[in-house]
A and B are shown apart, each in its own frame.
Chain A
Amino acid sequence: MAIKEPLNDPMLDPVTGEYRVIAPGHTFKSVTEKVSRIVLTSHTPVGWWGGLAIAGGGVLMLMVALTWLFLKGVGIWGITIPVAWGFAIVNFVWWIGIGHAGTLISAILLLFKQSWRNSINRFAEAMTIFAVVCAGLFPLIHTGRPWLAYWLFPYPNTMNVWPQFRSPLLWDVFAVSTYATISVVFWYLGMVPDLGTLRDRAQSKFAQFFYGIISLGWRGSVRHWTRYETASLLLAGLSTPLVLSVHSVISFDFAVALLPGWHTTIFPPYFVAGAVYSGFAMVITLAIPIRKFYHLEDLITIRHIDNMGKVMLVTGGIVAYGYWMEVFMAYWYSASRWEYFMMWNRMFGPMGWSYWVLITCNIALPQLMWARKFRRNPTLMFIMSFIVNTGMWFERFVIVVTSLTRDYLPSSWGTYKATRWDYMTFAGTLALFTFLFFLFIRFLPMIPMSELRILLPQAKIKAKQEPLPEAGD
C-alpha cells in the first residue's frame, strides 16, 4: 500500500496525504525534553514577564471594579428594568461557552480515538478551568450580595428555608459547580504522570519537592496505568454529557421562561454548539501564539489547526441552523404575532445592528474556512478566532438584551446601555484569564508528554521472536 512519491513537505504523511500530528524524527526522550524544558528551565523568558505584568495590571483593574461594586451595589452597572440581566449574564454565558471546547477536546476526542488531540488537550483543559473561574464570577457578583451566595445551596439553616428546585437558576448552581469540579479533577488526573516526569527531571531541590508532592508518587506501574486509563476514559465519558448538560442548563435559564426570543426548543443544542464554536476559537487564539513563541510547531501542527477549523465549521453550521430555525418559525410557521415581532425587533429594532454583527461574525465570515488554504494558514485562523468570539459575544448580547428590552407589553419596554464598570469588569476577566494562563504555561506541563509518547512510531510493539499474549477473548 505504501507508495513512493516525492513530497517536499516533511509534515505530510506519504500514505494518506494528511498532515502529521507530530513531526517525524521525534523520540521518547526528545518530546520529554522539549516539553519539560519549558517548565524546568531556570531562565524565564522576558516576554513571559512582560505578558504577566500586563495581565496583572488588568487583574488590578478588575479588583478596582469589584471593590467599587461591593461598596455601591449593582446600580453602578447599566442594568435596568426590564433589562435586569445585562452584561453580567452575557459574559457568564460567553465564558462558560469558551470553557466547553477544552472539555470537549479532552473528552469526546478521547472517546473517538482522535489522537491528534493529545498535544492540545492539556492547555485546552486549563483554558476550561480558567474560563469557568471567570464565568463563575459573574452570577456571583450579579446576585447583589455575593457574600450570601451560599444561600443557593441546600443546607439546613436557622431560617428554615430551602432552595426552589423548579428554577433553572438553581439548576445552574449544580451544573456549574459540577462542571468546575470535574474539570479540575480531569485536568489534574491527566497531569499526574507528567508531574512525575517533572519530579524526576527537576534539578532544583524546591522543584523536586514541589513536583514530588503533587505527582503523588506516580511511578508508572502498568497496574496503575491500567486503572488510570480506565479512570481517564470514565471521566471522559462523564465529561461529554456534562458539557452538553451544562450549556443546556444555561440555555434553560432562558428557554424555560416565556419571553419571545427565549422560549424555544432549539435552545439547548444550539447553545451547546455555540459554546463549542467559541471555545474552539479560543483554543486557536491561544495555540497559535504559544506554538510560535515556544517553538512547538512540530507538536502543535497545521493538522491541529486544520481540524479545529473543521470543528468550527460544523458547530458554526449548527449555530446557523439554530438562527435559521428561529427566523423560519417566527416569520412563517409560528402563527404568533409575538414571535414575529420579536424577530423583526431583533433584526430591525433599535438594537438591530447587534444582530447583523453577529450574523457577519458568526455565519458570513467563517464560511471562508471551507477553503483548505484558509484553514491551514495560522495567521488567518488566528484572526478568524477573534471574529468568531466577537460574534459569539454578540449572540448572547442579542439573546439577553434585545429580547428583554421589548417583551409582550409595550408599556414596559425599555433600553439598555452598559456603563464603564461593565466594560471594566469584562476586560478585567479577560486579563484574569490571561494571567492564570501565563502562570500555567510556566509552572505546569502544557503538553501531555505521556500521551505524546503513545503517538510516536516507536510505541508500536512489533512481534519479534515470541508471540504476544492473547488479547482478552
Chain B
Amino acid sequence: MAQHAKTLPHDLGAPEFVDRWRARALVIGAIFGALGIILGFLAGDGWNHFLRAWLHGTMISFGFCCGGMALLMTQYLSGGKWGLLVRRPLEAMTRTLPLVFLYFLPVGIFGMSFKQLYLWSRYNTDPWGAWKQHLISATQAHSIYFKHPLLNPVTFWCVSIFCFASWWLYTHLLNKWSLQRDADTAPNVPYWQVKFENLSGFGVVFYTLTLTAVSIYWVMSLDVTWYSTVYGLQFLVGQAYGVLALVILTLIGLSKAEPIKTIMRITEQHDLGKLCFAFVMLNIYLAFAAFLIIWSGNSPEEIPWYLDRVRGNWGVVATLDVVFHWLIPFTLLLSRDLKRIKGRLAVCCCVMIFARCWDMFWLIEPNFKDAARNLHFSIGILEYLTVPVAMIAFWMAYYFTNLKTRPLVATNDPHLEEILEPEHAHA
C-alpha cells in the first residue's frame, strides 16, 4: 500500500469495458424481451400476466432510478467520504428517468385506463352493481366506493404525472449543479454544499411523500381492501436496499480500472458494506414489525393480505423471501472480512438485488384472484422470468450509457484529498 497520498489519474472517464457491459445488457434484454412476447402469445390470458410482469419490471427500474436520487440527496445531507465514491454512479441512475416513465406508460394505459390490472378501475363507476352480479365481494365494493375520491382514473393520472414531473425537476437540478460545481473553483465549495443541502433537505421530504403516493397507487391499490400505514416507508427502505447493492456492484466492477481503482479504498468499501448491512436490518425490521402487528391483531380487515401470500404454496415464496432478503445478506455482511473482499461482497449484492425482485413478485402476483392463496404453474407466470429481466437489462444498458457520459469522480470536493490519503492515516 502506498505510503504517500495517491494522485488522481488524468482520465476520469469510465473505462472501456463499460461498453461491453452495455452490449451484454442489450443482448440479454433482446433475448428475454422476445421470450416474453412469445410467452404473451402462448399464455392465453389476454396478456394479463405480461402486464403484471411489466409492472414488476417497472417497479424495480423505478426503484433503482428514483431510489438512486433519494440516496444521492441523502449523501449530500449526511456527508462522509463514501458519498464522493457513489455520487457519479447515482447520478447516472437518476438520469434514467425518461426510460422509467416509458415503462410506466403501459401500466397506466393498459393496466389502469384499459382496466387490465386494477380491480378498482374496472368497477370504478358502479361497485355495488358489480357486487350484485357477484363479480366482487361486499368488502371490495365498499372499499371501491369509499376510496373513490382517491382511486379513480383522473386522480391516478394526475398524481402519477405530478410525481414524474417533480422527480424530473430534481434529477435535472442535481445533475446540472453537479457539473457546475466541478467546473467551479475550490473556494466556492461551501457555496455549493449549502446549495445541495438546501435542495436535498426538502427533496428527501418531498420524495418520501411522492414515493408513498405512487407505492399506494401503483402497487398497494391492486388489492383495494387492504391498507398498511408503513407501506410507503417499506418501499423507501427497499429502494435504498436495492440501490446500495447496485451501486456497490457498479463500483466493484469499475474498480478493475482507473479512476475508481485509485479512489476506492478498503475503508470506504467497508463503510458501504456496513451501510448495506444497516439497510438489510432496517428492511427486515419493518417487514417483521408490520407482520407481527397484523398477525397479532388477526383482524378480518387485514390478515387476508398475508393469508393470500402464505397459503396455497405461497409460504415457500414468503420463506425464501426472508432467506434472500435477510438471512443470506445478514450472515454474509456480519463478517468484517467479507465486507473487505470485493468478490464476495459482489456476490452478496447480487443476492440482494435478486431479493428485491423476488419480494416484488411476492407483493404483486397474489393480488390477483387466480393467484391468491394458490401458487400454481401456468405459462403466464413464466412472464415474471422474462419481462422483468428484459426491462431491467434495458434499464442497465441505459444506466451504463449514462455512466459513460461523465467523469466518474466528482473533483471539487474537500473529501477528495482525504480519500487519496493512505489508509489508517488517522490513529
**Which residues of A pack against B, CB within 8 Å?**
1, 3, 5, 15-18, 111-113, 166, 168, 240-241, 244, 248, 252, 255-258, 263-269, 310, 313, 317, 321-322, 324-326, 329, 332-336, 370, 372, 454, 459-461, 463, 467-468, 470-471, 473
- Judge whether B414 and A15 touch: CB under 8 Å: yes
Cβ contacts under 8 Å, B133 to chain A: none
Given the interface pairs A16-B190, A244-B285, the reply to whether A459 lies near B426 with Cβ below 8 Å is yes
- Judge whether A333 and B150 touch: CB under 8 Å: yes
Q: Is B7 part of the binding interface, using a Cβ–Cβ cutoff of 8 Å?
A: no
Cβ contacts under 8 Å, B187 to chain A: 3, 5
- Judge whether B147 and A471 touch: CB under 8 Å: no
A194–B353 Cα distance when bound, in Å, is 45
Partner of A241, one of B3, B212, B281, B416: B281
CB distance from B80 to the nearest CB of A (A): 7
A454–B425 Cα distance when bound, in Å, is 12
List which B84-127 residues lie within 8 A (CB) of chain A.
Answer: none
Cβ contacts under 8 Å, B77 to chain A: 310
Partner of B297, one of A18, A113, A263, A329: A263
Q: Is B158 part of the binding interface, using a Cβ–Cβ cutoff of 8 Å?
A: no
Give 10 A-B contacts (CB < 8 Å), ordered by A residue. Answer: A1-B416, A111-B274, A113-B271, A252-B293, A265-B290, A265-B293, A321-B208, A325-B212, A325-B229, A470-B1
- Judge whether A471 and B281 touch: CB under 8 Å: no
Q: Is B143 part of the binding interface, using a Cβ–Cβ cutoff of 8 Å?
A: yes
**Which residues of B pack against A, CB within 8 Å?**
1, 3-4, 77-78, 80, 142-143, 146-147, 149-150, 186-187, 189-190, 193-194, 201, 205, 208-209, 212, 216, 225, 227-233, 271, 274, 278, 281, 285-286, 289-290, 292-294, 296-297, 299, 301, 414, 416-417, 422-427
- Judge whether A113 and B186 touch: CB under 8 Å: no
Partner of A269, one of B230, B422, B424: B230
- Judge whether A264 and B425 touch: CB under 8 Å: no
A-B contact count (CB 8 A): 126
Closest-by-CB residue of B relative to A257 is B297
- Judge whether B294 and A248 touch: CB under 8 Å: no
CB distance from B227 to the nearest CB of A (A): 5
Cβ contacts under 8 Å, A258 to chain B: 297, 299
- Judge whether B186 and A467 touch: CB under 8 Å: no
Partner of B229, one of A113, A317, A326, A470: A326
- Judge whether B190 and A335 touch: CB under 8 Å: no
Cβ contacts under 8 Å, A460 to chain B: 425-427
CB distance from A189 to the nearest CB of B (A): 20
Partner of A332, one of B147, B233, B286: B147
Given the interface pairs A252-B293, A325-B212, A468-B3, the reply to whether A266 lies near B230 with Cβ below 8 Å is yes
A5–B186 Cα distance when bound, in Å, is 11
A257–B298 Cα distance when bound, in Å, is 10
